[in-house]
């Protein structure tokens, strides 16, 4: 009986050991994940856009706390911004030439041809108050507006042009500026004003709305950036203005609405030729704009303000903060669907924190107005009075 039990026990033990060896020898089986994307893009955004946004931490922001020396931060951040502009055109003398003029009572309007770069010789409007000077000056930056037949004519009343363009300019001023040409209004107040067309507008047009992406792509294939071309030309225009004998180079302001506002605070941020800026209806935190349905996600009109790779380092208000501690005014409309209040408030908060860190709160204005996407007469009056306090035009000094 004992032998029989041991025999059965031995057989059972051998079976158990054999089974264990088989289990150990088998690789661990993990159920295969058969899920895969059947849609990669929705409403023009990659379906992973939220995780991509989460990865944007803006490490080069002054508010990131990596720097203790503000001037060193500005130097390093500016270099990064300039790199994002990509290849620049050759530098050449401006070689300006006045080709026409018109007397406008207290000031003179001139058409000036000059080299804005080694690639482009362009036409600009120069408004000059009468008198000995030197005068404070304004670099006017026109907006986008999905209107390409006019550029500089959006902010300076044209002359010696076609009836169609003159009518188009007036209609645009009626729509966005309360019927006024802000360049002419500032000239009356004693400012020299200068404006020229950005690439693809006015006398430099050709691609229109639908051709913007092709233009940006072609510039990229030439080693350049559309936004970078505009940025560098704005820097050159600012420097051109600073070299004019009638201009006080320590009192130059950039002024613009929408894309023009982007260009205004950008040029104030990246060059010391600009000492202040009025920026109307174009300030918001970029991540908050990267949502389905926002105008920025449509492409096309986004290209003139999209710098390759820059968002890996700086948010929009971080870039604008490079202008600190210069006097800067930012207005936005509460009813502006292009830049929702929540996105603007985040940007405003960052701007205020930076100016406060440099004890310059009195030089920064951030304000909402009960308007859509416009620069109303009431907004102009308040903004221009604010500017007068810092720039002290000759017309005010004589009063």
Q: What are phi and psi of 103, to 5 degrees?
A: -80, 125
pLDDT of residue 20: 46
* Domain 58-390 top-level CATH class: alpha beta
Query: What does the pLDDT read at residue 33?
Result: 87
Q: Which residue, among 119, 122, 118, 134, has the nearest Cα to 97 in the 3D structure?
A: 122
What is residue 392's predicted lDDT score, i.e. its pLDDT? 78
The CA distance from 64 to 202, in Å, is 41
This prediction has a pTM of 0.90
Closest CA to 145 of 281, 291, 5: 281
Residues 255, 182: contact at Cβ < 8 Å?
yes
* Structure confidence at residue 12 (pLDDT): 54
pLDDT values of the chain reduced to their tens digit, one per residue, 399 residues: 444 445 545 445 445 444 445 444 555 566 688 889 899 999 999 999 999 999 999 999 999 999 999 999 999 999 999 999 999 999 999 999 999 999 999 999 999 999 999 999 999 999 999 999 899 999 999 999 999 999 999 999 999 999 999 999 999 999 999 999 999 999 999 999 999 999 999 999 999 999 999 999 999 999 999 999 999 999 999 999 999 999 999 999 999 999 999 999 999 999 999 999 999 999 999 999 999 999 999 999 999 999 999 999 999 999 999 999 999 999 999 999 999 999 999 999 999 999 999 999 999 999 999 999 999 999 999 999 999 999 976 554 444
In this predicted structure, what is the pLDDT of residue 6?
Answer: 53
**pLDDT at position 2:** 42
From residue 62, give the alpha-carbon distance in Å to each of 78, 191, 312, 342, 355. Answer: 12, 33, 14, 22, 11
* Contacts (Cβ under 8 Å, ≥6 apart) of 93: 115
Strand pairing class (121-129; 192-196) = antiparallel
Domain ranges across the chain = 58-390
377/383 Cα distance (integer angstroms): 10
Q: What is the pLDDT of residue 133?
A: 87
User: In terms of C-beta density within 10 A (0-12 exposed, 13-18 middle, 19 or more buried), how is residue 324 classed?
Assistant: buried
What was the pLDDT predicted at 296? 92
Cis, bond preceding 365 (omega within 30 deg of 0): no
**pLDDT attached to residue 288:** 95
**Contact residues for 223 (Cβ-Cβ < 8 A; gap 6+):** 86, 87
């Amino acid at each position: 009986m004992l032998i029989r039990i041991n025999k059965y026990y031995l057989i059972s033990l051998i079976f158990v050991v054999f089974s264990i060896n088989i289990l150990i020898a088998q690789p661990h089986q993990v159920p295969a994940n058969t899920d895969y994307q059947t849609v990669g893009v929705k409403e023009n955004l990659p379906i992973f856009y939220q995780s991509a946004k989460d990865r944007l931490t803006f490490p080069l922001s002054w508010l990131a706390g990596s720097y203790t020396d503000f001037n060193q931060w500005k130097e390093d951040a500016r270099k990064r911004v300039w790199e994002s502009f990509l290849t620049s055109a050759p530098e050449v003398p401006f070689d300006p030439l006045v080709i026409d003029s018109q007397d406008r009572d207290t000031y003179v309007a001139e058409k000036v041809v000059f080299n804005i770069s080694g690639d482009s010789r362009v036409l600009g409007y120069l408004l000059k108050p009468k008198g000995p000077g030197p005068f404070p000056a304004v670099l006017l930056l026109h907006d986008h507006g999905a209107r390409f037949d006019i550029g500089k004519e959006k902010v300076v009343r044209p002359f010696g042009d076609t009836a169609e363009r003159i009518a188009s300019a007036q209609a645009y001023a009626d729509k966005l500026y309360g019927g006024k040409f802000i360049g002419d209004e500032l000239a009356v107040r004693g400012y020299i004003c200068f404006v020229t067309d950005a690439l693809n507008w006015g006398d430099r047009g050709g691609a229109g709305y639908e051709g913007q992406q092709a233009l940006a792509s072609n510039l990229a294939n030439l080693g350049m950036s559309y936004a970078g071309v505009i940025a560098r030309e704005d820097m050159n225009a600012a420097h051109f203005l600073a070299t004019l004998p009638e201009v006080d180079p320590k009192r130059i302001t950039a002024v613009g609405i929408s894309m023009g506002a982007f260009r205004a605070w950008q040029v104030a941020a990246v060059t010391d030729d600009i000492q202040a800026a009025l920026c109307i209806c174009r300030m918001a935190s970029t991540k908050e704009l990267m949502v389905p349905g926002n105008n920025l996600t449509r492409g096309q009109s986004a290209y003139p303000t999209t710098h390759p790779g820059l968002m890996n380092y700086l948010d929009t208000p971080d870039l604008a903060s490079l202008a600190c501690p210069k006097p800067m005014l930012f207005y936005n409309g509460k009813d502006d669907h292009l830049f929702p209040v929540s996105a603007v408030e985040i940007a405003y908060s960052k701007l205020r924190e930076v100016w406060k860190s440099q004890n310059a709160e009195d030089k920064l204005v951030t304000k909402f107005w009960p308007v859509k996407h416009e620069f109303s007469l009431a907004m102009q009056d308040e903004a221009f009075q604010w500017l007068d306090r810092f720039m002290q035009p000759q017309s005010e000094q004589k009063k």
